[in-house]
């Protein structure tokens, strides 16, 4: 099964992927990537997010909070046949809804509570395991009145899967960096006055020896303070400290 992707389609897709790759927020990445992904398959909407094995699902809403996605992320994702497939295997997959739903799909709680009311009609979803607990997903959605996805659409989605995985990895990095930056911001308030002073010297490029001279304390004392700073901020090096404080600023 081969994709008949036109040169124009490929150009728009690759341009969207390139724009997403340099995005600086999860929402910006989502907006750029899902616009390109929707056009690639002629879908009415594309979504990206994460499945987790230990906590709730997370959809990245690029256009502001979406009521359907809030309901899905809060409680309905566990009824989703794609999430259930993710929970039962460690393998990546990219499948149409028809491969997972059974003849009673319209009678399921998931259909009644989410899929049907959201005006969804058909979808293709790819799930890519990014680490032991987290998988990124992309969903191509068509609404009532549209033609169902066909084999050609699935082939195109498969052809784009390597680029999709790279973008989902970038999305996970941005989300984690934001979370770490917020945590750093909270933790900074717990630093003592001396620790805050030493942290500023570290951000300016100082080391234990130069800081000890500036503050007229021993290098050993400075090193002890640095250990406490790293512990409180959850970082392991001066480079990580600098990156995290800049992100939290």
Query: What number of CA atoms fall less than 13 Å from residue 248's CA on the CB side?
Result: 18
pLDDT above 60 (res 65): yes
Residues 225 and 120 in one domain: no
Count up the domains in the chain and report the number: 2
0.75 surpassed by pTM = no
Enter the tokens of residue 86: 């993710």
Give the CATH number for residue 31: 3.30.450.80
Is 184 contained in some domain?
no
Residues 68 and 28 in one domain: yes
Is 183 contained in some domain?
no
φ and ψ of 128, to 5 deg: -125, 115
pLDDT above 70 (res 2): no
CA 176 vs. chain centroid, Å, equals 8
117, 142, 177 - which closes a domain:
177
What is the predicted pLDDT for the residue at 187? 59
- How far is it, in rounded angstroms, from Cα 203 to Cα 23? 25
What is the predicted pLDDT for the residue at 48? 96
What is the predicted pLDDT for the residue at 246? 58
- How far is it, in rounded angstroms, from Cα 30 to Cα 234? 28
Q: How confident is the model at residue 202 (pLDDT cuts 50, 70, 90)?
A: confident
In this structure, the dihedral spanned by the alpha carbons of residues 23, 164, 76 and 152, taken in order and rounded to 10 degrees, is: 140
Is 24 contained in some domain?
yes
What is the predicted pLDDT for the residue at 47? 94
Give the range of the structural domain holding residue 135, as residue numbers without chain letter: 7-177
Q: Residue range 45-70: average pLDDT? A: 86
Residues 172 and 197 in one domain: no
For the ranges 4-8, 11-15, 83-87, the lowest mean pLDDT is seen at 4-8
Residues 173 and 244 in one domain: no
Residues 155 and 219 in one domain: no
Residues 6 or more apart whose Cβ sits within 8 Å of residue 6: none
Q: What is the 3-state secondary structure (H, E, C) of 59-74?
A: ECCCCCCCHHHHHHHH
- How far is it, in rounded angstroms, from Cα 174 to Cα 165? 14
Is 143 contained in some domain?
yes
- How far is it, in rounded angstroms, from Cα 202 to Cα 181? 17
153, 177, 201 - which closes a domain:
177
pLDDT above 80 (res 239): no
Enter the tokens of residue 235: 């970082």
Enter the tokens of residue 76: 């309905």
Give the closest residue to 201 by CA, choosing from 217, 186, 187, 189: 217
- How far is it, in rounded angstroms, from Cα 181 to Cα 20? 21
Enter the tokens of residue 164: 């999709």
177, 207, 225 - which closes a domain:
177
Q: How confident is the model at residue 3 (pLDDT cuts 50, 70, 90)?
A: low
Q: Kind and range of the H or E element at 212? A: helix 208-215
Residues 38 and 154 in one domain: yes
Question: Could you read off the pLDDT of 205-237 as tens digits, one per residue?
Answer: 888 999 999 899 999 999 999 998 888 877 788
pLDDT above 60 (res 184): no
Residues 150 and 225 in one domain: no
| β-bridge partners, 52 | 134
pLDDT above 90 (res 168): yes
Residues 169 and 206 in one domain: no
Residues 56 and 98 in one domain: yes
Residues 48 and 121 in one domain: yes
Question: Could you read off the pLDDT of 115-150 as tens digits, one per residue?
Answer: 989 899 999 999 999 998 899 999 999 999 999 999
CB 123 within 8 A of CB 142: yes
Residue 160 CB neighbours (<10 A): 24
Is 155 contained in some domain?
yes
Q: Residue range 109-114: average pLDDT? A: 90
- How far is it, in rounded angstroms, from Cα 32 to Cα 145? 26
Is 1 contained in some domain?
no
Q: Residue range 169-189: average pLDDT? A: 69
Residues 6 or more apart whose Cβ sits within 8 Å of residue 177: 247
């Amino acid at each position: 099964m081969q994709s008949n992707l036109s040169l124009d389609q490929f150009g728009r897709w690759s341009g969207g992927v390139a724009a997403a790759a340099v995005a600086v927020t999860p929402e910006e990445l989502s907006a750029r990537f899902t616009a390109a992904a929707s056009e690639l398959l002629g879908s009415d909407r594309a979504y990206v997010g994460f499945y987790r094995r230990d906590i709730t699902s997370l959809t990245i809403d690029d256009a502001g909070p979406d009521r359907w996605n809030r309901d899905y992320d809060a409680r309905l994702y566990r009824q989703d046949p794609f999430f259930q497939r993710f929970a039962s295997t460690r393998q990546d997959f990219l499948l149409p809804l028809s491969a997972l739903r059974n003849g009673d799909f319209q009678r399921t709680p998931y259909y009644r509570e989410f899929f049907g009311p959201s005006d969804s009609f058909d979808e293709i979803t790819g799930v890519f395991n990014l680490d032991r607990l987290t998988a990124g997903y992309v969903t191509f959605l068509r609404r009532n009145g549209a033609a169902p996805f066909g084999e050609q659409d699935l082939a195109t989605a498969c052809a784009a899967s390597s680029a999709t995985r790279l973008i989902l990895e970038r999305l996970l990095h941005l989300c984690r960096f934001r979370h770490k930056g917020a945590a750093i911001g909270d933790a900074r308030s717990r630093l003592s006055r001396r620790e805050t002073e030493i942290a500023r010297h570290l951000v300016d490029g100082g080391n234990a020896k130069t800081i000890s001279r500036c503050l007229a304390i021993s290098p050993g004392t400075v090193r002890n303070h640095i250990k406490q700073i790293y512990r409180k901020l959850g970082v392991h090096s001066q480079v990580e400290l600098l990156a995290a404080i800049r992100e939290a600023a």
